């Protein structure tokens, strides 16, 4: 029996990893503390422009956009290698990172005809931006409880509802919206996806939230928004599955970025523990410190294999939601533990903004919640475990 287990990276991905690692070490880490606009998760315009040009030179620009749309067409495995290295630095925003090119969310690829030309193509070229609106005040982890409705009225839909914590809503040209077209069916055929311009009458930005990491997501109100049926993405009732396709790859991306953050935390904590002397000895010589470093190292090695397997299977088309749940759960919790450990090892100096430690701590705490909380991941995986082993 042949067992196909990939332990080492292929040569081309090893070269990609090493190139991105040099880019991070030589050009991004030196920017920490001055790359972001104070109090915001946005790169300073002059820094962003230089980094975009550098990414184009390195072949990192538009890595996740298919070649037929002018991109690099790099698979999820390749992108996970890139993101695991970028995760080592806090010089970049935690969510919207434009230096790698425009973000084309999965539902846009389902567009056809005039809608494809109006939304997908200009987004791929970097001419338009979107925001993704699914979360609501009463329906975050439970999309089946969605209250935003899209009611058919002849050749149009009339949309009413509120979406909350929508990243990039203030700069988006258009919205990718999940709305209930049949509330009785919930997420099993009752949710549809729509795409339409943010300046459509009835669309209103309501509240801007200030968050732990400096991000500023928005609440959006949809008040009798009337759109033509051509703005429906795919088939009615199939919107939830379209969103899940994007979230699956997004969770692998989050897990990959958590690998990088954990790696950086381990580097910082180990370096400091070896130089920090108390009672005549470096604190690295004490079990209470060294054992935590070891636990983080073992977690990181195991998590790397999980991410590589999930990414490779996603590229082959035989991955599943449970694998995406698992890597998101394991890796973001690991990164949070690593950041907490790193902060504790540094003590008081770790609480200051002189070091990237406190930023790593805040970012990893945030990542545990976004795109699926640990509790939701465990609920989903519990069904899988009970069905598989029961």
Which whole-number Å values give the CA distances from 234 to 111, 231, 239, in the listed order?
7, 9, 7
Taking residue 167's Cβ as centre, other Cβ atoms within 10 Å add up to 22
- From the number of C-beta atoms within 10 Å of its C-beta (0-12, 13-18, 19+), residue 375 rates as exposed
Q: pLDDT for 133-165, tens place per residue?
A: 999 998 777 877 899 999 999 999 999 999 999
Residue 117 domain-assigned?
no
Output the domain CATH number for residue 199: 2.40.110.10
Q: In this structure, is residue 289 part of a structural domain?
A: yes
Q: Is residue 119 part of a domain?
A: no
337 plus 265 within the same structural domain: yes
Cβ(190)–Cβ(183) under 8 Å?
Answer: yes
Whether residue 279 sits in one domain with residue 220 = no
Q: Same structural domain for residues 293 and 221?
A: no
Q: Are 229 and 267 in contact (CB under 8 A)?
A: no
* Selected catalytic residue, list 103, 215, 323, 371: 371
Per-residue pLDDT of 160-172, as tens digits, reads 999 999 999 999 9
> 151 lies in which domain range?
129-237
382 domain residue, yes or no: yes
Q: 88, 91, 107: which is closest to 99 by C-alpha? A: 91
The reply to whether 319 and 369 lie within a common domain is: yes
Q: Given a cut of 70, is residue 288 above it in pLDDT? A: yes
Q: Are residues 247 and 367 in the same domain?
A: yes
The reply to whether 359 and 302 lie within a common domain is: yes
State pLDDT tens for residues 213-272. Answer: 989 999 999 999 999 999 999 999 999 877 776 778 889 999 999 999 999 999 999 999
**pLDDT tens readout for residues 42-99:** 999 999 999 999 999 999 999 989 999 989 999 999 999 999 999 999 999 998 899 9
- In a domain? residue 309: yes
The pLDDT-based confidence of 1 (bands split at 50, 70, 90) is very low
Q: Which of 53, 71, 104 is the last residue of a domain?
A: 104
Residues 256 and 381 in one domain: yes
Based on the fold, state whether residues 314 and 227 are members of the same structural domain.
no
Domain match, 182 and 268 both: no
Q: What is the CATH classification number for the domain harbouring 85?
A: 1.10.540.10
Mean pLDDT of the chain: 93
Confidence at residue 7, expressed as pLDDT on a 0 to 100 scale: 64
What is the domain-level CATH number for residue 296?
1.20.140.10
The number of domains in the chain is 3
- Tell me, yes or no, whether 110 lies in a domain: no
Residue 148 is assigned to a structural domain of this protein: yes
Check whether residue 270 and residue 212 sit in a common domain.
no
Under 8 Å between Cβ of 20 and 195: no
In a shared domain, residues 200 and 252: no
Q: Does one domain contain both 279 and 378?
A: yes
> What is the C-alpha separation between 122 and 128, in angstroms, rounded?
6
Q: Is 32 a catalytic residue?
A: no
Residue 6 lies in a domain: no
Tell the residue number behind the tokens 């994007």, with chain if given: 246
């Amino acid at each position: 029996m042949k067992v196909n287990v990939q332990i080492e990276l292929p040569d081309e991905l090893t070269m990609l990893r090493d190139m991105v690692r040099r880019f991070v070490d030589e050009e991004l880490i030196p920017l920490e503390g001055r790359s972001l606009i104070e109090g915001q998760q946005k790169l300073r315009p002059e820094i962003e422009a230089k980094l975009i040009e550098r990414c184009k030179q390195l072949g990192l620009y538009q890595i996740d956009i298919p070649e037929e749309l002018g991109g690099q067409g790099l698979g999820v495995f390749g992108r996970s290698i890139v993101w695991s290295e970028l995760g080592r630095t806090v010089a970049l925003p935690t969510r919207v990172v434009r230096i790698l090119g425009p973000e084309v969310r999965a539902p846009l690829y389902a567009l056809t005809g005039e809608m494809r030309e109006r939304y997908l193509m200009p987004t791929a070229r970097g001419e338009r931006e979107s925001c993704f609106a699914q979360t609501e005040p009463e329906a975050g982890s439970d999309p089946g409880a969605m209250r935003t409705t899209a009611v058919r009225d002849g050749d149009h839909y009339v949309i009413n509802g509120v979406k909350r914590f929508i990243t990039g809503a203030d700069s988006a040209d258009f919205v990718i919206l999940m709305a209930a077209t049949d509330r009785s069916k919930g997420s099993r055929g009752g949710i549809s996806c729509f795409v339409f311009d943010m300046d459509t009458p009835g669309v209103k930005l309501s509240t801007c939230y200030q968050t732990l990491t400096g991000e500023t997501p928005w609440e959006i109100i949809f008040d009798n928004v009337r759109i033509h049926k051509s703005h429906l993405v795919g088939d009615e009732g199939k919107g939830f599955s379209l969103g899940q396709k994007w979230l699956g790859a997004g969770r692998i991306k989050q897990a990959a970025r958590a690998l990088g953050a954990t790696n950086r935390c381990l580097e910082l904590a180990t370096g400091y523990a070896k130089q920090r002397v108390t009672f005549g000895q470096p604190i690295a010589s004490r079990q209470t410190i060294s054992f935590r470093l070891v636990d983080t190292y073992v977690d990181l090695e195991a998590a790397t294999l999980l991410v590589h397997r999930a990414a490779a299977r996603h590229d082959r088309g035989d991955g599943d939601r449970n694998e995406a749940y698992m890597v998101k759960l394991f890796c973001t919790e690991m990164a949070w533990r690593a950041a907490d450990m790193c902060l504790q090892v540094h003590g008081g100096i770790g609480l200051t903004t002189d070091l990237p430690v406190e930023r790593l701590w805040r970012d990893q705490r945030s990542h545990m919640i976004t795109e699926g909380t640990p509790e939701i991941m465990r609920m989903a995986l519990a069904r899988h475990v009970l069905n598989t082993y029961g």
